[in-house]
Amino acid sequence: MNDALNQLQPYPFEKLRALLAGAQPPAEKKAIALSIGEPKHRSPAFVAEALTASLDQLAVYPTTLGIPALREAIAQWCEGRFKVPAGWLDAARHVLPVNGTREALFAFTQAVVNRADNGLVVSPNPFYQIYEGAALLAGAEPHYLPCLAQNGFNPDFDAVPADVWQRCQILFLCSPGNPTGALIPVETLKKLIALADEHDFVIAADECYSELYFDEQNPPAGLLTACAELGRSDFKRCVVFHSLSKRSNLPGLRSGFVAGDAAILKSFLLYRTYHGCAMPVQTQLASVAAWNDEVHVRANRAMYREKFDAMLDILGPVLDVQRPDGGFYLWAKTPVDDETFTRELFAREHVTVVPGSYLSRAVDGFNPGAGRVRMALVAPLAECVEAGERIRHFIKGL
């Protein structure tokens, strides 16, 4: 077996199950899960209709590159959403459909990392655990950049030593962040592109929460926005990852895309051709319908805004918690240690959250997620309100 498998840490939800084992929550209180970031809003009916109307494609082998209609729809969406000049994104060279960002982030790391170079894969901390596992299984060393409140929950990129940048092969970004919800400013993205040029590393921007934001008049910028403002029409060293899971409430469709540097995507396509992960044609056709519609996405954001407003009204007076820049998580500071808070909240109120320390790694004895919990506002509004009231009651009883 691959020895690197022994380096993988348990997934946060494995740790959570162990933490809650043996706890007996009140039977009269219905379980409310704010732990798993799985969208629960209704999937768009027109996407399901497009999927079922294309079931004759079950008899067709899909190509790894994907059908032109999907790549064109993605390229047009990127142009409109991130203010990329028309014609910069060549759908045949700069876009590659993938089966959700999780699979793509992992596979991308295997394709990009050069095992012979003793390289680093640099990521925020806390982070999406795929970044770490992908790095280890690719033969690279993970390097963690703490995301602290004093820096707006973004890494302090100016504090990163030059020798780290020199060894860096991939810099993972997550904006809005999971679990913090922090956005990386476009000017910071431009500085990171300059560092990538100087030290020859790839920026892999995980933007799967990019369509969950609060101000309809000011969509957050992304890495493609930074490229456009720099006049970087080749998107060199820049690759973005997007998904329909959060944007369109389609986590089960397993549909997303990678876009950016054509030379990198050409090599990634070669890897994926051997990897055997082509997206089924019927899924691609359903995805075209989703990427071509924004009405359901605006409605989705409205539902999340309503839940954030309600939860912050309930919890704001008793808990150190703020509205994030985007995403669907609250990143709350706990009045006791995060494991105790999580276990006791479950035992007394039958509400499940995730300890922040489970989403982070301790470096030099310091875990930047300790003393916080992640709450995913994915349940229906009434359940979120009920959870908020139970959490408030629990805190008042501490």
Residues 317 and 288 grouped into a single domain: no
Check whether 116 has a pLDDT greater than 90: no
Whether residue 49 is contained in a domain is answered as no
Residue that has been written with the tokens 């926005």 in this structure: 225
Q: What is the mean pLDDT of residues 357-377?
A: 97
Whether residue 51 is contained in a domain is answered as no
Check whether 338 has a pLDDT greater than 90: yes
Tell me which of 246, 271, 293 is where a domain ends. 293
Check whether 276 has a pLDDT greater than 90: no
Q: What are the tokens at 209? A: 């929460």
State how far the Cα of 131 lies from the Cα of 355, in Å rounded to an integer: 19
State how far the Cα of 327 lies from the Cα of 171, in Å rounded to an integer: 21
Q: pLDDT tens for residues 13-59?
A: 999 999 999 999 999 999 999 999 999 999 999 999 999 999 999 99
Q: What is the mean pLDDT of residues 168-186?
A: 98
With contact defined as beta carbons under 8 Å apart, do 249 and 41 qualify?
A: yes
CATH number at residue 270: 3.40.640.10
Residues 273 and 312 grouped into a single domain: no
Whether residue 223 is contained in a domain is answered as yes
Q: pLDDT tens for residues 212-269?
A: 999 999 999 999 999 999 999 999 999 999 999 999 999 999 999 999 999 999 999 9
**Count of the separate structural domains present in the chain:** 2
With contact defined as beta carbons under 8 Å apart, do 208 and 104 qualify?
A: no
Residues 65 and 154 grouped into a single domain: yes
Distances (CA, A) of 230 to 51, 84, 144, 172: 39, 11, 28, 20
Domain span including residue 317: 3-42+296-396
On average, the pLDDT of the chain sits at: 97
Residues 218 and 101 grouped into a single domain: yes
Residue that has been written with the tokens 């294309």 in this structure: 54
CATH number at residue 303: 3.90.1150.10
With contact defined as beta carbons under 8 Å apart, do 171 and 142 qualify?
A: no
Distances (CA, A) of 8 to 1, 128, 147, 171: 13, 13, 22, 20
Top pLDDT among 40 and 116 is at: 40
Residues 331 and 205 grouped into a single domain: no
Q: What is the mean pLDDT of residues 345-361?
A: 98
* DSSP β-ladder status, 256-260 and 120-125: unpaired
Q: What is the mean pLDDT of residues 302-317?
A: 98
Distances (CA, A) of 259 to 193, 221, 243: 16, 15, 12
Residue 356: pLDDT band (50, 70, 90) is very high
Residues 274 and 354 grouped into a single domain: no
pTM, to two decimals: 0.97
Residues 96 and 130 grouped into a single domain: yes
Q: pLDDT tens for residues 189-209?
A: 999 999 999 999 999 999 999
Residues 349 and 263 grouped into a single domain: no
Q: Tell whether the torsion through CA atoms of 268, 273, 276 and 280 is positive or negative.
A: positive
Whether residue 139 is contained in a domain is answered as yes
Q: pLDDT tens for residues 118-161?
A: 899 999 999 999 999 999 999 999 999 999 999 999 999 999 99
> DSSP class of residue 359?
G
Closest-CA residue to 181 (of 149, 158, 217, 224): 149
> DSSP class of residue 215?
-
Whether residue 47 is contained in a domain is answered as no
Tell me which of 227, 258, 293 is where a domain ends. 293
* DSSP β-ladder status, 120-125 and 32-33: unpaired
Tell me which of 293, 322, 342 is where a domain ends. 293
* DSSP β-ladder status, 256-260 and 238-243: antiparallel
Check whether 117 has a pLDDT greater than 90: no
Whether residue 381 is contained in a domain is answered as yes
Whether residue 50 is contained in a domain is answered as no
Whether residue 53 is contained in a domain is answered as no
pLDDT at position 33 is 97
With contact defined as beta carbons under 8 Å apart, do 241 and 104 qualify?
A: yes
Residues 286 and 323 grouped into a single domain: no
- Contacts for 204 with CB less than 8 Å, ≥ 6 apart: 105, 108, 109, 112, 170, 171, 172, 173, 239, 241
Residues 246 and 261 grouped into a single domain: yes
> DSSP class of residue 168?
E
Residues 104 and 136 grouped into a single domain: yes
Residues 101 and 235 grouped into a single domain: yes
